[in-house]
A = this chain, B = another copy of it.
């Protein structure tokens, strides 16, 4: 952030009085521009024993699989966001059955919140951001073609919890993946 979005003047990256962290501060009007983590919200849509996954038609990770999820917008709740993303990416209408995971991803400053959800009917399709949308049995999940580590860790928990039929809320942190 080089310029103030209120007055267009240059900003300086410095610690404002009374603060502990450097911020982008306007040299003209003094506005402090905070930058904060973004929330990604999604759900795991269930249709009987299967779950619905989307093949990404956008970067990053074009062509890899995810459950429906995306950036939460202003003026909506996390539930609104999960339903909207599921409509947009998978053209599916779901009923949310409970918050399932909350993962912080500090190295990209995201917080991922995922619900469990049930599909009322077997109706879905590829939205603009998806190449393909498909139902998968749990033993068919394309583990080596998942888009993000948080998707993999969430689905690992889900498979484990489904085996015992209990779905507590999981809270965790995704660490950067070491390349082998």
A residues at B contact (CB < 8 Å): 1-11, 18, 20-21, 24, 33-39, 71-80, 88, 98-99, 102, 104, 106-107, 109, 111, 113, 128, 169, 171, 173
Task: Name the distance in Å between A77's Cβ and chain B's nearest Cβ.
Answer: 4
CA distance A8 to B27 in the complex (A): 13
Contact B37 A72 (CB under 8 A): yes
Contact A11 B5 (CB under 8 A): yes
In chain B, what residue has the closest Cβ to A40? B36
Contact A106 B5 (CB under 8 A): no
Task: Name the distance in Å between A7's Cβ and chain B's nearest Cβ.
Answer: 7
Contact A77 B173 (CB under 8 A): yes
Task: Name the distance in Å between A14's Cβ and chain B's nearest Cβ.
Answer: 16
The residue among A2, A37, A171 with the most chain B CB atoms within 10 A of its own CB is A37
Contacts of A106 in B (CB 8 A): 75-77, 80
Contact of A72 with B36 at beta-carbon distance under 8 Å, contacts A6-B2, A104-B78 already known: yes
Contact of A78 with B111 at beta-carbon distance under 8 Å, contacts A3-B4, A4-B5, A37-B72 already known: yes
Question: Contacts A3-B5, A5-B5, A78-B102 given; 19 further ones with Cβ under 8 A?
Answer: A1-B5, A1-B6, A5-B24, A18-B128, A36-B38, A36-B71, A37-B39, A37-B74, A74-B109, A76-B106, A77-B106, A77-B173, A78-B104, A79-B171, A80-B104, A80-B106, A98-B171, A99-B171, A169-B169
